Chain A
Amino acid sequence: DQQVKQNSPSLSVQEGRISILNCDYTNSMFDYFLWYKKYPAEGPTFLISISSIKDKNEDGRFTVFLNKSAKHLSLHIVPSQPGDSAVYFCAASVDPGNQFYFGTGTSLTVIP
């Protein structure tokens, strides 16, 4: 049973607008979350992380929001750029030292 879910397989956004990628999880013990970006024929690369002691973490154009009561996190990209077109995975673990469970990914297309 999938413990981390990304219910939108794909998303298209105009260049310059905001991209919002969503992730839901079922295990209330998860308290450390990561977002990865993946281009075709490459391995995933780390984007941003958040732990349960925070509800928001920013890194440049990328912001991750965590709502523990709803078991939901989201990645905001502002402004979106064509180079952001990729597949985005969220991942969760009980703590950073434990196994990470990955979502199924959302394919983002930023239209110039």
Chain B
Amino acid sequence: NAGVTQTPKFQVLKTGQSMTLQCAQDMNHNSMYWYRQDPGMGLRLIYYSASEGTTDKGEVPNGYNVSRLNKREFSLRLESAAPSQTSVYFCASRGTITSGELFFGEGSRLTVL
């Protein structure tokens, strides 16, 4: 039972490069989320998708785009990476929009030089 799977687990980019973080869940969940974790800041929501075909901004959406490709997959794209985007990124899913528990992936560590 894989749960929430993120790829890649590690990535180093140069400033200005682009990349996409992939996330897939096999729990048939409706809602999916992207968070970033920074030292002293906790987890901050970047974007979320309440259901297939919808996306909404979270606390820190600037510099990111997302795509809810289908019910299983939710990708996060950095069009022009900046050093401030160096972080650990977590994808999460939730069964229904009203069910509180989030299931997280293992994280993707991104370094922007």
Contacts and interface: CB of A to CB of B under 8 A. Distances in A.
A49 B43 CA distance: 17
Chain B interface size range: 20 to 34
Interface string B65-99: 00000000000000000000000001010000111
A59 interface: no
Interface stretch (A40-48, A64-72, A74-82): A40-48
Interface in A86-101: 89, 91, 93, 95-97, 99-101
Given A96-B98, A96-B99, A99-B58, A44 B44 contact: no
Instruction: Determine which residue in B90, B97, B104 has the highest number of CB atoms from chain A within 10 A of its CB, and name it.
Output: B104
Interface of A: 2, 4, 6, 32, 34, 36, 41-46, 49, 89, 91, 93, 95-97, 99-105
17 contacts: A2-B42, A32-B100, A34-B100, A34-B101, A36-B104, A42-B106, A43-B4, A44-B43, A45-B104, A46-B102, A49-B101, A91-B43, A96-B99, A96-B100, A99-B45, A102-B44, A104-B42
